[in-house]
Amino acid sequence: MADLRALQDGIVNSQIWKSIFRVGIPNTNRKRVLAVLGSLILHLHPVKVRRSGTRMSYTWCMGGTTFFLFLVETVTGLLLMFYYRPTIEYAFTDIMDLREQAPFGIMREMHRWGAHAMVIAVWLHMFRVFMTGSYKPPREFNWNVGVILLVLTLLLSFTGYLLPWDQLAIWAITVGSSMARATPGAGNEGPMSGLIKLGDIRLIHAGDDARFALIGGRSIGPATLLRFYVLHCVAIPLVAGFLMAIHFWRVRKDGGISGPL
Amino acid sequence: MSEEITPYQVVPKTPLAGSAAGDIREQGEITRRNFPFVLTAAWLALTAALGGLTSVLGRFMFPNVLFEPVQRFKAGFMSDYAVGEVDERWKDKFGIWLVRTEEIMYALITVCTHLGCTPNWLPTQNKFKCPCHGSGYYKSGINFEGPTPRPLERAKIFIDPSDGQIVVDKAKQFHQERGEWVDPESFIKL
Ligand code: HEM
Ligand code: FES
């Protein structure tokens, strides 16, 4: 027993241990706070949370669940990237191989189901924020950050949907991206776009409108697949991650999770 | 002239005897007087830089070269097409149905005017039917069922005088709802 104690002391007092955990054993309240504040990982979570904020019946933990699912998607998605190639020669067969040949074929299913779950969770989170009136001042800014996060979540789902490059994917994106044709002043069928003319030549047409820039052509093709891949794996996650940081920071700066009505 | 020095007045650092009454400060120094202009210039420069960057980013997303089927193609001779038929031979390659009636021939673009899927020609029911949300069109291209708001589009079609072949040019489209199907470029008169 005494030997164990000596071993523990030896480890805790070693230079390596002290260089990592700077405050020593957090056996007083002051040391506990310092331990949290002094650690990048721990400080992400607030030092104090109001008791009501931990009640499942109040938050449903749907924001937390959304964030958890985002992390799941990031990890599984990163792993899928080791096998998937975003070209029309390989995209579909690589997805098949991910399921049939790659180790842990369930990885792809986890990514797919996780994506559906994240979309559902983000809606439920928004619903609970609305029902608890938590969008009211001082939290109105965070509601707006949330709205952008909602759109980004849906865009992640939309861009990911094309990547298997099967019939379902191609026609779903054909239909979905066709809505961009109705963009006012920027889509070739949108209101006011017809007014942008040089003589009687329409300047906004199928070859230069908003949809064209989105899908990189007039119809869904190899350029679209590559574009959506980059948006799905790099661009949108980066922006969403940045906004989540702001979102969580604001939850704390706005006085923590709101109290029950 | 007695000079009173107020607390916020700028006092020259090194008054030089005999220097002109003007500025004896160093060239390019930021003073209270020129600060607003410096600030404005800085903001304008920043705005211009950001504006330039945004336009470059925007333009970058519009490709110069497309790897899509050509818009204009030769479709053979009129005698290759039967009267009363919807011809599907160019559907996969160029996205065009050629329809020959007693009086005219026209080229329908195979893109559903609802949200862009490719409808099927159902000869037994004598109509085009879209698999996505069920829009239906007559052989003429006029819509009669489903969610689509308007008829299929027709492409420019003409006979090449040099060899007598039919030429279809999808770059020019004709909308029935804009009254463009009477345009002589939208059909070949037989
Ligand atoms: C990627 C999407 C999102 C993530 C990861 C996320 C995450 C979170 C988390 C972890 C919380 C702490 C409380 C809780 O778990 O309920 C929170 C609070 C909040 N969220 Fe979100 N959220 C997202 C989207 C949204 C959306 C779509 C809205 C509304 C439009 C929104 C508005 C808010 C507001 C106003 C709060 C403060 C609520 C309070 O203080 O009670 N968020 N969010
Ligand atoms: S795309 Fe054809 S009916 Fe909707």
Shortest distance, CA A171 to any CA of chain B (angstroms): 6
Ligand 1 centre from A154 Cα, in Å?
A: 15
A47 vs A127: which has the higher pLDDT: A127
Tell me the domain boundaries of chain B: 29-67, 72-189
For residue B58, give the H/E element and its range.
helix B35-60
Nearest to A221 among B62, B67, B116 (CB): B67
Any atom of ligand 2 within 6 Å of the Cβ of B159 = no
Closest Cα in chain B to A176: B115
Q: Can you tell me which residue has the tokens 């390019």? A: B28
Query: How buried is A121 (Cβ within 10 angstroms: 0-12 exposed, 13-18 middle, 19+ buried)?
Result: buried
Write the pLDDT tens digit of every residue in B37-84: 999 999 999 999 999 999 999 999 999 999 888 899 999 999 999 999
Ligand 1 centre from A111 Cα, in Å?
A: 22
Structure tokens at B105: 């021939």
Ligand 2 centre from A155 Cα, in Å?
A: 22
Mean pLDDT (whole number) for B8-35 = 65
For residue B108, give the H/E element and its range.
strand B104-109
Write the pLDDT tens digit of every residue in A110-122: 999 999 999 999 9
Structure tokens at A11: 């480890």
Provide the 3-class DSSP secondary structure of residue A176.
helix
Any atom of ligand 2 within 6 Å of the Cβ of B110 = no
Residue A109 has pLDDT above 90, yes or no: yes
In this structure, the number of other CB atoms found within 10 A of the CB of residue A9 comes to 10
Any atom of ligand 2 within 6 Å of the Cβ of B131 = no
Query: How buried is B112 (Cβ within 10 angstroms: 0-12 exposed, 13-18 middle, 19+ buried)?
Result: buried
Provide the 3-class DSSP secondary structure of residue B172.
strand
Q: Can you tell me which residue has the tokens 């559902």? A: A120
Instruction: Check residue A20 and give its pLDDT.
Output: 85
Any atom of ligand 2 within 6 Å of the Cβ of B152 = no
CATH of B72-189, one of 2.102.10.10, 3.30.565.10, 1.10.10.350, 2.20.25.90: 2.102.10.10
Mean pLDDT (whole number) for A64-82 = 97
Q: CA distances (Å), A228 to each of A67, A158, A160, B67, B166, in order?
A: 22, 9, 7, 17, 38
Nearest to B62 among A171, A213, A221 (CB): A213
Nearest to A171 among B58, B67, B132 (CB): B132
Say whether B68 and A222 touch across the interface (CB within 8 A). Answer: no
Question: What is the distance between the alpha carbons of residues A206 and B109, in angstroms, rounded to a whole number?
Answer: 13
Handedness of CA B166, B167, B170, B175 (dihedral sign): negative
- Which residue's alpha carbon is nearest to atom 14 within ligand 1? A63
Asked whether this complex has an ipTM greater than 0.95, the answer is: no
Q: Could you give the domains of chain A?
A: 1-47 (no CATH), 59-253 (1.20.810.10)
Length of chain A: 261
Q: In which band, very low, low, confident or very high, does the pLDDT at A205 lie, cut at 50, 70 and 90?
A: confident
